[in-house]
A and B are shown apart, each in its own frame.
Chain A
Amino acid sequence: MTAAVDKPHSHGAVVPEASRAEWFTSYDVAAFEVPSGREEIWRFTPMKRLAGLHTGAEASGAASVEVDAPTETTGITVETVQRGDSRLGAAGVPADRVAAQAYSSFTAATVVTVAKETQVATPVTITVTGPGAGKVAYGHLQVRAERFAEAVVVIDHRGSGVYADNVEFVLADGAKLTVVSIQDWADDAVHVSAHHARIGRDAVLRHTVVTLGGDVVRISPTAAFADKGAEVELNGLYFADAGQHFEHRTFVDHAVPNCTSNVVYKGALQGDGEGDTAAHTVWVGDVLIRAAAEGTQTYELNRNLLLTDGARADSVPNLEIETGEIAGAGHASATGRFDDEQLFYLQARGIPEDQARRLVVRGFFHELLMKIQVPEVRERLEAAIEAELEAVGA
């Protein structure tokens, strides 16, 4: 599909400032310098559009967090806790200033716990509504899956305003957690979010990020294995229109043996515009296999589909391997224009152009959509993709 203008990704062209192992982390915002935008981790981000999240903007509103847990099952606990709660921060430590700002600034956190050995078939839906246009808010959310618990959690972000938060996933041994985080914000919204997952022995996290709306959305999912035999899937799907900046920075930290990770992010970009008015997406995928992580199996892939001229997709996979005793490690990245040969083929079978384009784009996302095992979420995303295509009359 991308054969026409496939170009090599920037592998080798970018030398990380430091090994991912040496990155500075802290819960305290004061421990981070104010970024200028030239730093490696900020160099793609339009800092001017962050509404001061990186320079210490104070909260001027609050996001609402509503948890809709299935009523037919027991075993799900929803709590609103104060910042002193000892469980908070268990899944990871902020690794950039905005995440630390959010950690230092939230007033109350939501903790959702799935009790041990509970299996919840119906998704738990957490709806996060922005603070409103022109307002700034900080938040904190933690999802805990106890031993052998199995659950599906949908986090649905919508509304207006500026919002920074940390989202934690704490998976105890043998837990299976499926997470779908949807960013379907209004056009003005700015959302900078750090997701931290700590995955216990033989636990499985399937984490999918879906970014469809907002002015600037920057999500940084980090997955760290606490013990052997665990598995993580980090999936992402994004669809950026003119003027939108969607950035996803994944990091998988293999510090223990015999764990498996698979990262698949796919994006489509469309709409006329240049510079700040063009659609811009960024995917940076870091994988670190530490010396102790023997038997690691990892793969990461990013594909971008440029539907119109002017759109820009940056794609940077970084794979650091500190042991030779691994099962497998690889990555792939490609950005290409819409393939006119596919369009011709479909049209030559009588399919009108707009419908043919939709078929191709739907096909592009098909692999990811099939990974989303919650039918209602999948249907909603299919409808959202159709709506994106309708919007430009593609």
Chain B
Amino acid sequence: MATLEIKDLRVSVATDDGPKEILKGVDLTVRAGETHAIMGPNGSGKSTLSYAVAGHPKYEVTGGTVTLDGEDVLEMSVDERARAGLFLAMQYPVEVPGVSMSNFLRTAATAVRGEAPKLRTWVKEVKESMKELEIDPAFAERSVNEGFSGGEKKRHEILQLALLNPKIAILDETDSGLDVDALRVVSEGVSRFRASGESGVLLITHYTRILRHITPDFVHVFAGGRIVESGGSELADQLEAEGYVKYTGAAEAAGV
């Protein structure tokens, strides 16, 4: 069973005034079959956690450990982490002009699976996943994320999730900027992914509305660079009612 274990993780970013610590000792364990939601106000460091685990060079790990099934994730390059079974659905997927979506997907699948998928089954697999996510087949020949709307980008992140089938998926504000319809499609995609019970999901969100589609097993409140409270899904209801004021001292509602 896959387990992502984060212990006392401390992360800094470089600023004009020198390094600034964003994560101040994060402890979190995500096991296969579990869905964790991390909620918190803007600027609390939620996204930093996802990027640091994925290995973005901007974030410097200054302390703590991250392991996947006992393997040291922090020692791995970005692509090694992905091949080890980590996946990050990004809040702002990057455009790559001139590289077609189909070429990108196949190259990624080949890298993650360790061999090129057989063409015939691959084409079928991609078509079915695109259909489930209500993506127009014409997108396969468009450049990666280029000129996609916010909703189209998020659908394609979930398409990659479906095709790469990681052990642990981190979804960084995948729900933000989605209309009701797109939110449903994306949530269904995540639900299909976790239905196998063999994968863990870490859902990072500012809002509670996605949690009505995807019920988390655990909810963690993130504030000031660490987890300040953990509970079951009832904690999300409480946040919706009371906002983050209790944790930040400032009046900021958990948006719906």
Contacts and interface: CB of A to CB of B under 8 A. Distances in A.
A362 interface: yes
A344 B54 CA distance: 9
B112 A353 contact: no
B164 A1 contact: no
Given A349-B160, A351-B108, A356-B79, A366 B94 contact: no
Contacts of B57: 340, 344
Interface residues of A, number: 25
Interface stretch (B97-105, B118-126, B188-196, B217-225): B97-105
A367 interface: yes
B94 A352 contact: no
Contacts of B82: 347-351
Nearest to B105: A349
Contacts of B206: none
A350 B111 contact: yes
Contacts of B94: 339, 341-342, 344-345
B99 A352 contact: no
B96 interface: yes
B97 A363 contact: yes
A359 B104 contact: yes
A44 interface: no
A365 B143 CA distance: 13
Contacts of B112: 349-350
A359 B83 contact: no
Interface in B63-84: 77-79, 81-83
Given A340-B57, A344-B56, A345-B93, A353 B79 contact: yes
Q: Would you call the interface of chain A mostly helix, strand, loop, or mixed?
A: helix
A127 B9 CA distance: 62
B88 interface: yes
A364 interface: yes
A355 interface: yes
A353 to B, nearest CB: 6
Given A340-B57, A353-B79, A346 B104 contact: yes
B8 to A, nearest CB: 24
B107 interface: yes
A367 B98 contact: yes
B98 A342 contact: no
Contacts of A364: 97-98
A371 to B, nearest CB: 12
B249 to A, nearest CB: 34
A284 interface: no
A353 B107 CA distance: 12
B90 interface: yes
A348 B88 contact: yes
Contacts of B87: 348
Contacts of A356: 79
Contacts of A341: 94
| Residue among A341, A348, A350, A362 with most chain B CB within 10 A | A350
A1 B83 CA distance: 25
B96 A347 contact: no
A366 B97 CA distance: 8
A255 to B, nearest CB: 35
Interface of B: 54-57, 77-79, 81-83, 87-88, 90, 93-99, 103-104, 107-108, 111-112, 143, 160, 164
Interface of A: 1, 339-342, 344-353, 355-356, 359-360, 362-367
Ordered nearest first, which 4 A-B pairs have the shortest CB separation? A363-B98, A366-B98, A350-B82, A349-B108
18 contacts: A1-B97, A340-B57, A342-B95, A344-B78, A345-B90, A346-B108, A348-B78, A349-B104, A350-B82, A350-B112, A351-B82, A351-B107, A352-B111, A353-B77, A355-B107, A359-B107, A363-B97, A363-B98
